[in-house]
Structure 1
């Protein structure tokens, strides 16, 4: 049991196998969920300085097939402790956070059962207070307490709490509708600022289907062509993931076939999103960062934009040309959000933290990573541009995509991964000093980043350690054809001297 519980921590949330699939061992079931609930009660009571019977906690699930049983096991433990529970059923991760903020709920904490974009046999748990999501240390304390309780019979409280079964998606939809109406503030049509536009949603059978009917149609948009709006935890059509090329290609086809003005795709729990413009061009990863930065810098000139470590040089140049400052930080949405919070505490104006995966958090929205709120910001701009006879892609004028990009992932078999990585990065640093066409980027907060210059053009690579797995990640981009292959060959010449790196990934 201890090993199962230890394996469930995944950075700042819980992730585990919840359905028996092939030879994968189930690690997140009713039993482990109940133990985690005990650890959560201990942690949240101490954190907030409240007795459990004086606390109100909300629970929600995405469309995964195991969500309800895990939620019920968790709820039973909270009820045994005397807590008042709000069971919201199908929800999104951002809406669960808002249950700690909305006046009609004001929950002390929120718990969301989701594994984001991972395959159907996974599930997980995310935790919030009104101050934001839990950190690594919070999850570690919860799992350690759960391990402690697994070794002895936990006593149940005599006092029972109560449960309220309702939905938060209607309240959250109204919040988004009002945000868009106020943002557009159209003198022509305040109530339906999206009237006359066709906007398609692909929810991938996750939790995001509500957005088409409860937000877009309320605002006057035609949603003909929207797909996979009904929740289905088996994800029979494609994985709900804005980075998945199959999903993006389906949306591109839907947009062009239905002559839509915009296509929107969400991940399972709607904390990430991406778009396709009316010409069928995908707006995700670097392009999404550029678009969102343009929107923010129009509202807050000179703002710093925090991104993760793998963002392209073209994004950096676009942000600077648009009058902003770019802070390229570490991978991990919590890392970019926490850096943005830190910069603001230091008096540095920062209104956006965004990761290439599609996590985007705005200062005006409590730095919550929220795919629906990101989409609302894009829709506000789309409606305003539409009144001027322009399109959303006009905001990206001057932005150039790199000619080539790729990511290589290589497994490390060494016992001491950190020491091994340190040695490898020192070798690359030494090599960059000796190599005329390599120059190490000094302002770098993760791994080692090197700019590469050739007669054909320029490129760069970033070598870093995976956040969660014993894997080396190498991100490579170039502005000329076959440039990534050229950089790969030079990096491989160094890596082949390391026997504990599995080179089959090359």
Structure 2
């Protein structure tokens, strides 16, 4: 029985772990056991690991975020791996980046790290992210793992031990921040920094990192793991979540706010003045950091970034490479760029996935926070703030995102067809922008104001996504009406969301 493609989501595995009225469970303990077998088959393609497996020396680390289905799936995975002779290290509650580091830290040296998480998705989802010592599993690796679930001979050599991964991981971050601040022991003393963990797995950051560095963390919120996510979606790309941390920062008069997603591979920040550093703003801050350290470097982003960001990066002497969405895609493009002899220090998506070359190109929200914390004491002494870092980044006056459901069986063909046809259209005030590898991008001018829009396929759903930015007020409805007229030729593109906006 191979329903395995149902569980594949790019380079992750995702599924329903708790039944709802609409959806039956497909990420079952049984499916998890099959994934454990698939992982062993995948790892043992390497002769060295095959030998380790034969001798009962294959070591797999496993952790989970705060989801309520986590303990059950973790247990199913461990049980199966142990039955087959694997040395399992159960890290309990952990973060996605920490699981990768379990393959690097000398005290663990796991051959693979397995993280049970579905990032910011609703509580009834869960999923699995997989790392080898080389980095995250690719799309084709997940394909292999899900399609190789045949049984292996049982072995009495397996075992499971529990270990704490978060403490050494947090200590590692503390050491890096101290080193970057000229070896000061408490570089953050005198700073008031608030953490919002959204009841995910990132609550440790307040006590084990910030407090250790001397920061005052009073007013931090939702640090307790709770897989029902009672307060807000743990997603730094979500408006309500960002407003929640923004209010907390302003109410406490804090110097900085940091918010993580559930499994802590993404972060966003709020400055003292309440300015939100996510999306283009976060890319701008991190670009300044890497360009100060590596003049002239290139930065890979996904495609829906503003034209203003490109100008900002180029003014700092850097180059922006706009690439297709999907955090693995952006990371792989950066790795490829370096292989081609062009220095590229940062891969980052507008969703907040950010990976530094110096940190194994691992997308890690705590590392992003750490890079910014390294900067704070320096800014303080110069009488500057994080707001000053994005002063030069022009903000669009108005933005709009609209999603269109594709009602066709073969939705991909429909979506790609619409995009191809749009590319050929000639509309006064819409100038085709060739510097784009995903969907179709146009620059807007009179009679549509001054801005740009991008129409692209959603990564994993049957949707077309439209993003518009304009530097002149009041023109977005005109842009929407023109696009709507164009889409009228395609009855299978559902314009309901757009029509609501135009009312």
Question: Is 2:177 the counterpart of 1:174?
Answer: no
**Structure 1 equivalent of residue 128 of structure 2:** 125
Q: Distance in 2 between matches of 1:423 and 1:64?
A: 39
TM-score (norm 2): 0.96
Shift of 1:451: 0.9
2:361 corresponds to: 367
| Shift in CA distance, 33/362, structure 1 to aligned 2, threshold 3 Å | same
Are residues 1:97 and 2:100 paired? yes
Task: Give a deviation string over 1:221-256, Cα, whole Å, max 9, x none.
Answer: 000100111111111111111011111111111111
Deviation digits for residues 332-374 of structure 1, max 9, x if unmatched?
1111100000000001010000000000000000100000000
**Matched residue SS, 1:305:** strand
CA RMSD, Structure 1 to Structure 2 (Å): 1.3
Pick the aligned partner of 2:449 from 441, 448, 457: 457
- Cα 1:48–1:75 shift into 2, 3 Å: farther
**Is residue 2:327 matched to residue 1:355?**
no
Q: CA deviation at 1:414?
A: 2.1
CA distance in 2, matches of 1:457, 1:502: 26
Supply the distance in 1 between the matched residues of 2:152 and 2:187 (Cα, whole angstroms): 56
> Shift in Å at residue 261 of structure 1?
0.3
Matches of 1:41 and 1:484 in 2, distance apart? 52
Q: Report the Cα distance in structure 1 between the residues aligned to 2:428 and 2:239, rounded to whole angstroms.
A: 37
Distance 1:117 1:226 in 2: 20
Partner of residue 382, structure 1: 376
Matched with 1:21 is 20
Structure 1 counterpart of 2:501 = none
* Selected match of 1:447 from 434, 439, 444: 439
Cα distance in 2 between the residues matched to 1:475 and 1:341:
27
Which of 175, 192, 204 pairs up with 1:210? Answer: 204
- Range with greater deviation from structure 2 (28-37 or 192-201): 28-37
**Is contact 2:401–2:467 with CA below 8 Å preserved after alignment?**
yes
Counterpart in the other structure of 1:466:
458
1:487 Cα deviation after fit: 1.4
1:58: which partner in 2? Answer: 61
Match of 1:68 among 71, 78, 83: 71
Q: CA deviation at 1:49?
A: 4.3
What do the CA deviations read for 1:180-225 (whole angstroms, capped 9, x no partner)? 0011116xxx100000000000001111000000000000000010
2:84 counterpart of 1:81 = yes
Within 5 Å, which residues of 2 pair with 1:23-422?
23-47=22-46, 49-51=48-50, 52=53, 53-146=56-149, 149=150, 154=151, 156-185=153-182, 190-422=184-416
Question: Whole-Å Cα distance in 2 between the matches of residues 183 and 265 of structure 1?
Answer: 22
Aligned length: 494
Report if the CA contact (8 A) 1:238-1:247 is conserved: yes
94-103 vs 484-493, which moves further: 484-493
| 8 Å Cα contact 2:406-2:415 kept in structure 1 | no
- 1:273-311 deviation digits (Å, cap 9, x = unpaired): 000000011111111111111111111111101000101
**Distance of 1:98 and 1:486 partners within structure 2:** 50
1:79-103 Cα offsets, whole Å, 9 max, x none, are: 1111111100000000000000011
Query: Matches of 2:193 and 2:37 in 1, distance apart?
Result: 44
| Residue aligning to 1:437 | 429
CA distance in 2, matches of 1:85, 1:155: 17
**Are positions 1:479 and 2:491 aligned together?**
no
Gaps spanning 5+ residues in structure 2: where?
A: 499-503
CA distance in 2, matches of 1:456, 1:320: 26
Q: In structure 1, what is the Cα distance between the partners aligned to 2:420 and 2:86?
A: 53
Contact 2:449–2:470 (8 Å) recurs in 1: yes
Q: Contact (CA 8 Å) 2:323, 2:436: kept in 1 or not?
A: yes
- DSSP-derived class of the 1:492 partner: helix
| Alignment gaps of 5+ in structure 1 | none
CA shift, 1:126, in A, is 0.3
* CA apart distance, 1:323: 1.2
Name the TM-score, length of structure 1 as normaliser: 0.95
Given that 2:84 and 2:152 are in contact with CA atoms closer than 8 Å, whether structure 1 keeps it comes out as: no
For the 8 Å contact 2:397–2:470, the answer to whether it is kept is: yes
Give the match's secondary structure for 1:50: helix
| Contact 1:197–1:261 (8 Å) recurs in 2 | yes
Q: Which stretches of structure 1, 4 residues or more, deviate above 6 A after TM superposition?
A: none
1:477/1:483 contact within 8 Å kept: no
State the SS of the aligned residue for 1:229.
Answer: coil
Tell me if structure 2 keeps the 8 A contact 1:262–1:275: yes
Residue 177 of structure 1 deviates from its aligned partner by 0.1
